């Protein structure tokens, strides 16, 4: 990868026109979501930012959930939200960290030990803070210290085995690998696992290969004792694919520092899982023992590991973590061949599919009896794969889905996450099949914010000690929703620990801060492997606006040239950013040619003189 010189070219747009409705709605969403932070914080936190909740919280689960409730604050600020969001984000991160340190889940500012499904969710907050405020010294120091937990630099947390290139346990963190769990570790979520299939098929008298979807009552002490014993025997020692999500934490440190040791660790760890997949005949194994042997504690089985092919969610957890690592490897190297591993696994799953009642289904799990739990495939990971690669072969993988005619109709999809919006309607829009997407997505998001504010107002704080740990996630009204998709051309960051991927990013040169300037809106209308079409609108009829546009979330791309509006000529750029000057009430379409993943990625932004 080679870096450009980032010299600044300025283009001018002076065509006045009536503002499109999507632009008005988009600016309204930025303002409404920013303002909604205040009643949310005032309702649920004390003066020091700690949550109005309970005095104790046992077990290993839960610290990720409050971080998730506030992760949208720094992201929305980075998109152009209010300055207040950034201040609140810093306060809330510190307060949550302190509160859950008292509870016992966090040690030395990082989760003491848990799995990377939950680490990945919680530390999105940290990654978005890097986008929002990369010059904050404390965040930069933490990024390096947290990465040190996994690359072997912290003597208290020897998670990394440099000889066998593995993370020593599925449960890991600032206290190192958790090689044996206790009843207390699981106490807060045993009831949840009552609803999941049994983690093993040979628990005497309960689960068999002939009925692999058997569920067991973790809340039954007698049954749980057997489950806990087997978990400790089989699952807690050695590596699992879920740990690949840790590559985002280490990439996060690289984005702050550019230190080569972080890039090398990510590539080294990812390559180790490539080799294991080759050794296993092309299917990624879900468990590797401390000696590096596949199936070491599973009687030689390549399946059955923690968050593996069988338990608890099956293939989507494995493939998501693998795709997160692949995307990080592409970001750090510009080498698209890193996508071959997740691509091969998606193809493998598809090859095991079958027709049932006229509907194509794929297996979501593998157990002692082979593939099972057949359901229609979901396109999310296929869309993300194509977003990164932009290859025709990955587009063909998406076109195999049979129900694409319904994708434009998908709405909402917020659940507990405030930072995402469904990929299917956005993909349909980019393919020219969902023209109403921008307005509809923004309207749905605004309605969801209003709904959540009503719920917040009705909440009775006297009930707080009995609230579920997801209470705040389900209510946070700071919803960025489709904003990252529309303004940055950004796909879902992959919720369990992925870094955001984007085609463009915006900065306000007057206020010298990230995000769209006040009164300016942006819509990515089209993308190819070598171009992006971006529409800009200045809603201010009285004042002109300047904005800087960066190639990618981390300046990882380079702009070649730009065609402004109806102009026939192209303006050369050959840099990772350029400036646009918008007249009052002006709007324009920018057709930008670009080279993707050719620069060393960084959080830092070089302001023009």
Provide DSSP, 145-162. HHHHHHHT--TT---EET
Q: Which residues pair with 115 in a beta bridge?
A: none
Two structure tokens written together for 541: 């009829």
More confident residue, 212 or 609: 212
Q: Tell me what the mean pLDDT of segment 186-196 comes to.
A: 94
In the predicted structure, residue 417 carries a pLDDT above the cut 70: no
Confidence of residue 232 (pLDDT cuts 50, 70, 90): very high
pLDDT of residue 212: 78
What is the pTM assigned to this prediction? 0.97
What is the C-alpha R_g of the chain? 24
On whether the CB atoms of residues 198 and 146 are closer than 8 A, the answer is no
In the predicted structure, residue 413 carries a pLDDT above the cut 70: no
Of the candidates 110, 99, 86, the one whose C-alpha atom is nearest the C-alpha of residue 46 is 99
Two structure tokens written together for 558: 């380079």
Buried-state track 312-343, b at ≥16 Cβ within 10 A, e below 16: bbbbebbbbbbbbbbbbbbbbbbebebbebbb
On whether the CB atoms of residues 558 and 595 are closer than 8 A, the answer is yes
Of the candidates 325, 420, 316, 433, the one whose C-alpha atom is nearest the C-alpha of residue 364 is 316
Element spanning 422, H or E: none
Strand stretches in 472-557, DSSP E: 504-508, 513-514, 520-528, 531-538, 545-551
Tokens 């839960």 correspond to: 62
Confidence of residue 209 (pLDDT cuts 50, 70, 90): low
Strands 10-13 and 577-582: parallel
Q: Where are the domains of the chain?
A: 504-595
The SS3 of residue 485 is helix
Q: DSSP state, 208? A: -
The SS3 of residue 280 is coil
In the predicted structure, residue 582 carries a pLDDT above the cut 60: yes
Q: Could you give the residue ranges of the DSSP H alpha helices within 160-220? A: 190-193
On whether the CB atoms of residues 94 and 88 are closer than 8 A, the answer is no
pLDDT of residue 7: 61
Of the candidates 12, 48, 5, 145, the one whose C-alpha atom is nearest the C-alpha of residue 588 is 12
In the predicted structure, residue 326 carries a pLDDT above the cut 80: yes
pLDDT of residue 414: 67
Two structure tokens written together for 307: 């968050």
Strands 504-508 and 513-514: antiparallel
In the predicted structure, residue 83 carries a pLDDT above the cut 90: yes
Of the candidates 316, 334, 332, the one whose C-alpha atom is nearest the C-alpha of residue 250 is 332
pLDDT of residue 6: 47
On whether the CB atoms of residues 566 and 517 are closer than 8 A, the answer is no
pLDDT digits (tens, 9 = 90+) for 290-317: 999 999 999 999 999 999 999 999 999 9
Confidence of residue 93 (pLDDT cuts 50, 70, 90): very high
Q: Tell me what the mean pLDDT of segment 445-474 comes to.
A: 95
The SS3 of residue 50 is coil
Q: Which residues contact 129 (CB under 8 A, 6 or more apart)?
A: 74, 89, 90, 93, 136, 139
On whether the CB atoms of residues 582 and 536 are closer than 8 A, the answer is yes
Q: What percent of the chain shows pLDDT beyond 90?
A: 89
Q: Tell me what the mean pLDDT of segment 86-108 comes to.
A: 98
pLDDT digits (tens, 9 = 90+) for 149-176: 999 999 999 999 999 999 999 999 999 9
Q: What are phi and psi of 42, to 5 degrees?
A: -65, -35
Q: Tell me what the mean pLDDT of segment 245-264 comes to.
A: 98
Q: Could you give the residue ranges of the DSSP H alpha helices within 334-422? A: 340-351, 380-389, 392-399
Strands 571-575 and 558-564: antiparallel
Q: DSSP state, 462? A: G
CATH ID of 504-595, from 2.60.40.10, 3.40.50.620, 2.60.40.1180, 3.40.50.280 = 2.60.40.1180
Q: Tell me what the mean pLDDT of segment 582-601 comes to.
A: 97
Distance separating alpha carbons of residues 243 and 457, to the nearest angstrom: 39
pLDDT of residue 415: 59
Distance separating alpha carbons of residues 498 and 486, to the nearest angstrom: 19
Buried-state track 352-382, b at ≥16 Cβ within 10 A, e below 16: ebeeeeeebbbbbbbbbeebbbbeebebbbb
Considering the chain, what is the average pLDDT of its residues?
95
């Amino acid at each position: 990868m080679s870096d450009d010189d980032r010299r600044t070219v300025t283009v001018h747009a002076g065509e006045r026109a009536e503002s499109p409705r999507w632009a008005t709605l988009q600016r309204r969403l930025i303002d409404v979501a920013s303002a909604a932070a205040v009643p949310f914080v005032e309702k649920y936190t004390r003066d020091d930012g700690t949550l109005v909740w309970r005095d104790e919280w046992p077990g290993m689960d839960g610290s990720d959930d409050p971080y998730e409730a506030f992760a949208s604050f720094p992201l929305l600020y980075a998109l152009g939200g209010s300055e207040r969001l950034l201040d609140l984000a810093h306060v809330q991160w510190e307060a949550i960290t302190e509160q859950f340190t008292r509870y016992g889940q966090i040690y030395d500012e990082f989760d003491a030990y848990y799995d990377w499904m939950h680490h990945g969710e919680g530390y999105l907050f940290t990654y978005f803070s890097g986008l929002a405020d990369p010059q904050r010294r404390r965040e930069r120091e933490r990024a390096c210290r947290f990465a040190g937990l996994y690359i072997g630099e912290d003597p208290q947390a020897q998670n990394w085995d440099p000889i066998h290139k593995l993370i020593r346990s599925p449960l890991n963190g600032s206290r190192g690998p958790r090689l044996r769990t206790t009843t207390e570790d699981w106490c807060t979520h045993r009831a949840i696992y009552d609803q999941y299939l049994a983690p093993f098929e040979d628990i005497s008298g309960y689960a068999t290969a002939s009925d692999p979807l058997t569920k067991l009552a973790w809340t039954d002490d007698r049954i749980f004792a057997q489950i806990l014993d087997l978990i400790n025997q089989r699952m807690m020692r050695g590596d699992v694919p879920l740990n690949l999500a840790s590559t985002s934490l280490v990439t996060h440190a690289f984005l702050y520092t550019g230190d080569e040791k972080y890039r090398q660790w990510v590539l080294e760890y990812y390559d180790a899982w490539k080799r294991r997949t080759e050794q296993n005949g092309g299917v990624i194994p879900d468990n590797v023992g401390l000696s590096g042997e596949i199936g070491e504690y599973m009687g030689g089985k390549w399946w059955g590991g923690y968050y593996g092919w069988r338990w608890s969610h099956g293939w989507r957890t494995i493939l998501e973590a693998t795709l997160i690592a692949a995307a990080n490897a592409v970001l750090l190297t510009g080498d698209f061949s890193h996508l071959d591993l997740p691509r091969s696994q998606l193809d493998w799953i598809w090859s095991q599919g079958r027709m049932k009642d006229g509907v194509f289904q794929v297996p979501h799990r593998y157990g002692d009896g082979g593939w099972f739990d057949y359901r229609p495939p979901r396109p999310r990971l296929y869309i993300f794969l194509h977003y990164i690669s932009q290859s025709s072969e990955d587009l063909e993988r998406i076109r195999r889905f049979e129900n694409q005619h319904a994708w434009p109709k998908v709405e909402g999809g917020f659940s507990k996450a405030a930072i995402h919006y469904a990929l299917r309607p956005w993909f349909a829009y980019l393919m020219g099949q969902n023209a109403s997407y921008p307005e509809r997505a923004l309207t749905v998001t605004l309605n969801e914010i209003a709904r959540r504010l009503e719920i917040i107002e009705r909440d009775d704080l006297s009930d707080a000690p009995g609230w579920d740990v997801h209470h705040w996630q389900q209510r946070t009204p700071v919803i960025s929703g489709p904003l990252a998709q529309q303004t940055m051309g950004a796909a879902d960051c992959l919720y369990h620990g992925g870094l955001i991927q984007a085609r463009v990013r915006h900065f306000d040169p007057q206020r010298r801060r990230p995000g769209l300037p006040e009164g300016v809106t942006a819509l990515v209308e089209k993308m190819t492997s070598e171009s992006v079409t971006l529409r800009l609108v200045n809603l201010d009829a009285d004042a002109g606006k300047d904005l800087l546009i960066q190639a990618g979330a981390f300046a990882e791309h380079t702009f070649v040239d730009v065609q402004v509006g109806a102009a026939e000529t192209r303006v050369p750029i050959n840099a990772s950013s350029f400036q646009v000057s918008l007249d009052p009430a002006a709007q324009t379409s920018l057709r930008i040619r670009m080279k993707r993943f050719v620069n060393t990625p960084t959080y830092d932004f070089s302001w023009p003189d």
